[in-house]
Amino acid sequence: MPLPTPNDGEKRSKFIERCMLDLSEKREFPDAKQRTAVCYSQFKKAESKASIIVGNSWDDSEMYYYFSESSEGPMSHYFKTKEEALSDGSKMGLDGYHVYKNEAGDKLYMAGPDYKTFSSLWENIRKKKQRIKSGSGEKMRKKGDKGAPTPEQIKKAKGE
């Protein structure tokens, strides 16, 4: 039987939970330690196929991968200058920017006051694009379109 693999955007902790249950129900790998090792191994293998890896260094249970073939993702929103990040943010309705240092120590700039604000917006956009691709009939709204969030709604969502 095929082993479980992570779903697009599935957090590691949720995948391990789902994988353990799946292998247990199939009565594969009767030893819990062996099932755990297999599930962690499956998640690690998926890393090489991921186009985007999101997580933080202090809590890798919150790590998750995106397997989308689209070139647009959170990493395409990192810039070398503050001005580029601010310009990108204005297109998405985000104010300000925050700083990120990559593994090489380079300073990069990203739209929004913090990563959480940017990533929750990005996650909603990604999910909607996925539904549209699946044939939901939805369309992406443009700023000012009927049904698009108003500037007040965007401020409220940002907690301003």
Q: Which pTM does this prediction carry?
A: 0.40
| C-alpha to C-alpha distance for 82 and 100, rounded to whole angstroms | 11
Render pLDDT for 32-80 as a digit per residue (tens, 0 to 9): 899 889 988 888 888 767 656 666 555 555 665 656 544 455 567 778 8
Q: What is the pLDDT of residues 87-123, one digit of tens each?
A: 888 777 778 888 878 777 888 888 878 777 666 666 6
**How do the domains of the chain map onto residue ranges?**
12-66, 74-157
- Residue 23, token pair as written in the block: 């292998």
Q: How far apart are CA 138 and CA 145, in angstroms?
A: 14
Q: How many CB atoms lie within 10 A of CB 77?
A: 21
